[in-house]
Amino acid sequence: MLKWIKHNGHYIALTVFIVGWALIIIFISQKLLAADNEIYMDQSGATANIDLEQQGGSNLIGGVGSVPGTLTDFDFIGTTNTLDINQIGASNLWKGDITADSYTGFFQFTGNSNVMNVVTDTTNTYSADSSNVNVAVTGASNTLTLNQATSAAAATLDLDWIIQGSNNTITSSINIDGATNYMDIDGSDNTVTYTGTGVNASSGGYMWLDHTGGSRTLNITQASTLNNDWVKITSNGSNGTFCVDQNDQGTSTGC
């Protein structure tokens, strides 16, 4: 069911529908005489398949609690869900709070100066296990943050990044439990900050970074306290700073 209403000079479409056991509420707001688009969404339930695409610049994806001047995270709650985000253009923003186990995520960005800020299951509601997350970016000066299970254990997480462009900033923190983090980055002046922690006996993270480009900054921390960590870095280019810190309950001196 789709209904358009006018509110504060905007036309707003309210759509409510059911997919499987999922109740999904989406607000789509388009300003009059402007190119900016906004999707406000909260989803709760299992086995949902959601595909969101925006084309153009200065678009937003956030939660239904957003108000003018403040964009809240959209809530994506449940198990065995699939979420596909595709933003095509410059200066787009997506904020998400994912509480899910065994979910599949496809996050794609084409353009410059986009921002992604996503956290997954920070309260350990569903354990954030067995997720398959793919981030693909083509463009420059993008800021990407993805924190997975910051107070849970991301068992068997498969996280893949494909970044093509320069001056991008990638930040990721994972509470690992047999998680894999693979990064394929092509471009100069990119910055990667990755922190993998874990306290379970089965913890043990694998990271593989394949990079081509100059003037890069790579900060890698692996700190599984009861198991082993592995990191493989292949980088081709001139200039840059590398800091790799593997700490198993020792006294870290840093870089």
Domain that includes residue 72, residue range: 42-246
142 located within any domain: yes
173 in any annotated domain:
yes
Mean pLDDT score of the chain: 81
pLDDT level of residue 252 (50, 70, 90 thresholds): low
Q: Does the residue 51 lie in any domain?
A: yes
Give the pLDDT confidence score for residue 175 in this predicted structure: 84
Highest mean pLDDT among 129-143, 173-187, 235-249: 129-143
- What CA–CA distances, in Å, run from 197 to 5, 29, 54? 47, 39, 34
User: Is 199 a domain residue?
Assistant: yes
Q: What is the mean pLDDT of the segment spanning 201-217?
A: 85
pLDDT in tens, 210-223: 999 999 999 998 88
pTM metric for this prediction: 0.83
**In the predicted model, is pLDDT for residue 18 greater than 80?**
no
Tell whether the model's pLDDT for residue 55 goes beyond 60.
yes
Residue 24 in domain: no
Q: Rounded mean pLDDT of 45-66?
A: 91
Residue 25 lies in a domain: no
The answer to whether residue 26 is domain-embedded is no
Query: How many folded domains does the chain comprise?
Result: 1
Whether residue 23 is contained in a domain is answered as: no
Per-residue pLDDT band for 155 (boundaries 50, 70, 90) equals: confident
